[in-house]
Structure 1
Amino acid sequence: MTAAPSGPGAVPDPGEVTLAGIRKAAGLIKGAVLETPCLPAPTLSALTGAEVFVKYENMQVTGSFKERGAIVKLSSLSADERSRGVIAMSAGNHAQGVACHAQRLGIPATIVMPESTPFVKIAATKSYNAEVVLAGETVHEAWEEADRIASKRGLAWVHPYDDPRVIEGQGTIALEMLEAYPDLETLVVPIGGGGLISGNGTAAKAIRPEIEVIGVETVLYPGMWGDFYGKDVRCEGATIAEGIAVRDVGKLTRQIVRKVVDDIILAKESTIERAINAYLTRLRTIAEGAGAAGLAALMTEPERFAGKKVGLILCGGNIDPRLLSSIVIRELTRDGRLVSIRIDTPDRPGVLGEIATIIGTLKGNVVDVAHHHLFLDVPAKGATLDVTFEAFDADHGEAIVAALRERGYRVRHVDVAESME
């Protein structure tokens, strides 16, 4: 792996990130960001077998923890650096955190984003009066453009993760969690570039040396896992956890992770989807893919965490509503509570009513129907019905399908998304 460009200067000594520095950072951010609640989550405890406590960083003004590190770094700049302005590269949460607090502190901010960045994130960043530059198809290309602009204009970098001040800001989360629950046994932290886990691992281990610090990455982007275990890895693919889809982990953060992290778990995409859905349906809160990664780790290895007091950092809630809706539908399907079937029928009056009656009598709830006459695999005097219905659970859904087959209908299961197009 090669590191992404990070502005001029040598890599700092990991010893620069200390508990004292994190405590100082806590004083700097006080009143500028929310001290988000850390609360027990009994419904997630029932789901995972661990005693779960959730830190709700999705409640920050910009929807993620990134504000903490941004404030601390911006506050450390000299008067000359502030007057010249700052630059950051980000496709999401870091961009908004830097832009928001640069505006509050009166510091000009330039944010470089890949050209593929969703418009909603561009608009959110511009709303804080930041100059947004779209450059490159990839994050690496955007980095290169940001480096060029920084050198040309003499702008100060606010790195998303590989900076001691940024790391100290992120570490304030663990201070708040351990103040609320000093007896936490395990802290599970998502890993992208490594700033979040570096800061919180440093703080947690200094306060409570026996605490276990576990990182989690998506299987598609196991960069820190590869470095941690000395494995060659490939980081690529479309992931629902784009906030931790980092190919090149930090030079500084990888050194700190080796010191303070006990293990790293890789979570599958489907498990992260389940975790997003669990936050929504069980806690009535919104988690983006990266924000749900900690819970996904518990779902991946439940036996490891069983009975332990586990702190999860819900690090962000910036997820596209349409994507969230799709996840909910997919999870209902996986659980067997939303069933989509295709039925071959004779083309005669009353058939639709008969099918609806069978489903309704068995307490199913029809939510969508599509009637097809032109499918070539259906007889000319026949028709095809695509029916989607709600069931109590998978067994209930199969009982309804069995009843339709007993009445002589040919029934096939189809993809819910396909049937509802």
Structure 2
Amino acid sequence: MNDTATRRGDADSVRRSVAAVWRIESAKIIATLTRAVGDFGLAEDLAQEALVEALDRWPQTGVPKNPGAWLTTVAKRRAVDRWRREERYEQRLASIARELEDERDDAAPWDPDHIDDDVLRLVFVACHPVLAREAQVALTLRVVGGLSTEDIAQACLTSTATVQQRIVRAKKTLAAASVPFEVPPRVDFGPRLAGVLGVLYLMFNEGYAASRGDSWMRLELGREALRLGRVLAGLVPDEPEAHGLVALMELTAARFPARTDINGDPVLLADQDRRRWDRGCITRGRAALRKVDALGRGRSSYALQATIAECHALANSIEETDWERIVLVYDALGRIAPSPVVELNRAAAIAMTEGPAAALRIVDAITTRGALPRYHLLPATRGELLSRLGRHEEARRDFESAAKLAGNERERDLLLRKAAAADLPH
């Protein structure tokens, strides 16, 4: 290999390292910077500038031992440079000094409503009620989840340009409203709780099944969403939806160890070695469901989805799963939180109880309505049903259509393998 090729390889390696650090550390970096500079939008700009500097310097110096701390330090230095230019240097330094004094004050009385978690503060800022729901989701996935605008567009089934516009407007709105970097008092949780739960749910889903990239899952993102969910449920012990979301994430995260093979390729539910499922997650998830029931207000959206996950967790195999109960739960979910995705998932359960023909009628009705035009799992599900009905040529076309829509490379490869298998003699 010549010197040019070697340098190019080193640069590619550094870019991969920077991308990995950003995926894992971006929320903590931006949260720390937001606390330091008091401006959400500025904090992300500074973090991005530090990222650019890392791409420039790390190929020469190597990746530092603590890359997250390096990025944070560089971003803070850039903040100081900005303050000098803006002639607010002494004012800002005084503010940081007071903050440091507060952090050293160990004699402060314990406050049960206070949480020393900058990332959770960041979530509450991004989910402030001055923002529309779509803006809350886009902004949180960007700055907390570390997703690109393309990733968010894929996850939200919309265009990249739309996501970019939402994020830019959201930052301007937060700045104009001077939204503080804090977890609000409990009396103010109500208007913001649904938004926070919603974005944690989307973060977890992106961790469970990455919408883009060459990894089937983003484990660090899913685990961070679960961690934040546990913290939030502790802050609002009387909110059943918080416990319901934790139950759903715990019971779903139980499958993480069995969802990929040794090569990182997807292992679907029917083929997973259930002995590898995390029994601790299952135990915690079922305990969270009991907390929902103890509050006596019934199971709503997240808890119903957790009920379905519990059915899978308790079954020894795909065949022994209580599919009849799952269909009934989907019926209930469809009444309180109707969506074409719920209908599609219900169709998959119907296929196990009434057969693929009955399920195909539901899927075709969704397609005819024009629902989920960018959702790759719609043609993927249809392909599975057609395969079971022996309609292999149609199944191949649907698997190929699903592969074209899939943003994740591992999932795309899986769908193309299914398309190729449908072409084989049967």
Quickly name the TM-score band, shorter chain normalised. under 0.3
Relative contact order (C-alpha < 8 Å, sep 6+): which is higher? 1
Q: Which has the higher helix share?
A: 2
TM-score between both structures, scaled by the size of structure 1: 0.26
TM-score, scaled relative to structure 2: 0.26
Instruction: Name the larger-Rg structure.
Output: 1
